[in-house]
Amino acid sequence: MNLQILEPGFAIADALSPEDLETVSRQGFRTVICNRRPGEAEDHPGEEPFSREAERLGLNWVCIPVASGEYSEADVAAFRRTLEEAPSPILAFCRSGRRSTHLWAQARAQQPQCNIPMLLKAAREAGQDPQPIRKLLQASDEQVTDPDTR
C-alpha cells in the first residue's frame, strides 16, 4: 500500500485489499473512498468485502467508481460532497491513485479560493502526472497555470 498525502486530511493510495483497511484504520483515517469499478481487475474483489470490513472497523466507506478519464459532473459532485461532509482524514484509492487524484483536483478546483498551481504541485509531489489534471481543469474552464512548467 502506497499512501501519498495531497493536502492535510486527504491522501491517495494505489490498489487496496479489504485486509489493508485494518492498517488504514490504525493510521487514523476515518473515511475511505473507492474509485475502482466492479470487475476492473482480478485483484479487486468488488465493493462488498470492503464495505463489510470498513463497517467492522468503524470506517466511513464511500464508493464512487469511475473509469480513467471519464469523470461525470455527478462523480465530481459526489467526491466534493464527501470531501466536505465525511469525517476526515480521508483516504481515496483506485488502481494507481490517478483517478482519485483527478477527482480530488476537479472537486477542489470548484472552490472559490482554489489555488490551481498548488493542486498541480500536490499531484506532482504525490507522483501523479499533472498534465491530465491541467487538461481536465481547462475543459472545465478553470484558470490553469503551473509555475513549474513555464
According to DSSP, the β-strands at 60-63 and 10-13 are unpaired
For residue 136, pLDDT over 50 is answered with: yes
Amino acid at 23: T
Q: How far apart are CA 87 and CA 3, in angstroms?
A: 18
What sign does the CA torsion over 59, 108, 98, 136 have? positive
Tell me the domains of the chain and their CATH numbers: 3-114 (3.90.190.10)
Of 48 and 85, the structure prediction assigns the larger pLDDT to 85
- pLDDT at 143 (0 to 100): 43
pLDDT (tens digit per residue) in 55-74: 999 999 999 999 988 999 99
pLDDT (tens digit per residue) in 93-104: 999 999 999 999
| Entry pTM | 0.88
